[in-house]
Structure 1
Amino acid sequence: MRTLNKPVFLAAGAYTLSLGTGRPEFNPRTPRPGLDHYIREAGAATLAQIGDPGAIDESVIGNFMAARFNRQGHLGSLMTIVHPSLEYKPALRVEGACASGGLALASAVKSVLSGMADAVLVMGVEVQNTVKAIYCADYLAGAGWYDGERKEGHTYFFPGKFSDRAGAYGAKVGPEKARQAFAHWYRNAVENARLNPDAQEHFNRVDDLVAQGLTPPNPKSFTDHLNLYDCSKVSDGAASIIVASEEGWRRLGLARQDVVELAGMGQMAANLTTPPPDLTEMTTCRRAAEQALAMAGTGIGDMGVVEVHDCFTISGVLLTEALGMAAPGAGADAVLEGLTRRDGRWPTNTGGGLVGYGHPTGATGVRMAVDLWRQLTGRAAGYQVDLKKDHGILVSMGGNDKTVVSLVVKR
């Protein structure tokens, strides 16, 4: 088992609101902010928390499909708009579908571990509300094996893929229990989002969220086993955080209480051209989380807060099993028993997660790290939970469980 050869820390996290349907600021008929706006806003919010922006050695940005959604590539160089001190320093853009933000974090960690940098500005960004939903679904299908799967795949490609998982899980645990678990995951996500003013579902005031989540799927208009409430929304936004060595965060003017320490990391990819070995298991996520926990020398029982990639409610339920919060087939029971609620054994996605906060694809992995950092440093304001343990874990997933980064951090 590889270990971290020196301490690595995360600090100064920030993210923008998640703009899209559900936010009062969103109007599809009027011009909306673009990539430049979100990069500046998230970056400025992080730099405002440090003493010397000049102490940042390099930058890395995660993004999935700006070249299609926004006709803009070359995002590494675009990061220099955040502050003049970033110019003429290393900067790059990384991509791994929905795990692009997670890969940006992993890239920064490796730069710090190598000694090539002591402080790295990490960002994720995506602006997706630029095309109609049907075109958006086609762009996002690029997170799968486009040549081999798209032609015969569902019109709404990824909802179709995870609908297949939901159907298989329903056959395994019973369709009624599965549907109830999905509805309760949705309720938890929205209840957490109501406490986070930047969340896309912050203004959702539906009284009976479970009843809304139980809306029967309509295969004639969407998918066989998922309804619209089971899905994360199309979102615009950005998130940023700093990855640093001890020397790095001191040079930035930060104090020990401002940072959290990286305890373990797992990163891996599975063959994009092959189907999942088991539709009811997140195999790659499980392996990456196991790697991160082993490197940290800890277990899921030591986690006080959890961030999982709930692009759909079914993925949230399956990830409780992948992380060991529940045995295989028992994730639905864990959710129904309240183990993932903010007052449960494992407070999960406390700022709303992908279903509640939103899913600006390339930003999501970084946003998850920001929420862990906020919780572990007591900076989550209105959505702060009472932590019973000193560790937190995140799982950033790209595609249908194909590219995964998992981080374990501790206060």
Structure 2
Amino acid sequence: MSLDVDSKTLIHAGKLIDGKSDQVQSRISIVIDGNIISDIKKGFISSNDFEDYIDLRDHTVLPGLMDMHVHFGQEYQSKAQAPIKVEREMQAILATQHAYVTFKSGFTTVRQVGDSGLVAISLRDAINSGKLAGPRIFAAGKTIATTGGHADPTNGKAVDDYDYPVPEQGVVNGPYEVYAAVRQRYKDGADGIKITVTGGVLSVAKSGQNPQFTQEEVDAVVSAAKDYGMWVAVHAHGAEGMKRAIKAGVDSIEHGTFMDLEAMDLMIENGTYYVPTISAGEFVAEKSKIDNFFPEIVRPKAASVGPQISDTFRKAYEKGVKIAFGTDAGVQKHGTNWKEFVYMVENGMPAMKAIQSATMETAKLLRIEDKLGSIESGKLADLIAVKGNPIEDISVLENVDVVIKDGLLYEGHHHHHH
């Protein structure tokens, strides 16, 4: 159900969290003109002059939420349940469903950090052209790794079963190959770059935390990305790889599991964002207790990384590291992104700060804060509504009743005035 794009719409919001103010406002009128928020007024103004009216007097209205770490097209399954082979076409088909579920749960913008191909880039374009309902996607395309690194697609395969992957396929060694890989992502149409500077939990390899990019290699990533106006997101568990990435000037550290105080200081100094993905940590820790869920080489990594993530989050928040919301959905199920808010609040972040980390802070990380991230006049009309007050109970974000993106209403009820 969409509204007529040329009409003016009035929303009466019982409560408003605008993404910037630390205060919840009450009884607010929001005017949307086409796809732009044109006015915000105190009190409930008369709906007579408006073609469309959306009554959210018993709801809290918030900016559309943003998740900086999703993987549409995949969801981790146990060894027993996992299909023997997964075709790229199947990933693409599932990705459209993952995007829709995420969108309906209130996330109007996401960053897909890592893909096996052009799935998210293609999905982004299909959504942007209005062919499908879904969030705005900012995509990194194929993740870049070094040989044997967390995003080397040939890990765990017999030597005779694969051709050595080239930089264009996202495996690089040395700064020259880095340039080839970044330029290929640009050619593919990616919005940014994702690199794996340390091992990973779910890769079929021993270490989850050893450094896997040299300083020279990660410097080259940032310098190449800057040439093409792309952001750089960095998968990192171990502190050494993380510090190299922060010194190089990357935009965000994902997971940051074994971050030490020196890494935190460097992040504060460089303005680097931390994307915690606590929910993925909780998920893998839980599943590591189950026999045969993970391959045995993965199991100890999952058991140790999980509990550590929330501990690191608590310390980083207290220290003043900039935090942007991200879940790693695609490890756990898509559409459960809201659980991250609960974990953030349980680990010491005030509810309002957690919401801001998924609105204004994420917009800054994506460099779109002039258009999105808050409910202010002149910004794009991305809004959601929930019953109840998320500041009193953050878990109400599980049930999103209304999603408006780019001025179009996708959920909920509205009235036409004639």
Q: Is TM more than 0.5 here?
A: no
TM-score under structure 1 length normalisation: 0.31
TM-score under structure 2 length normalisation: 0.30
Ranked by relative contact order (alpha carbons within 8 Å, sequence separation 6 or more), the top structure is 1
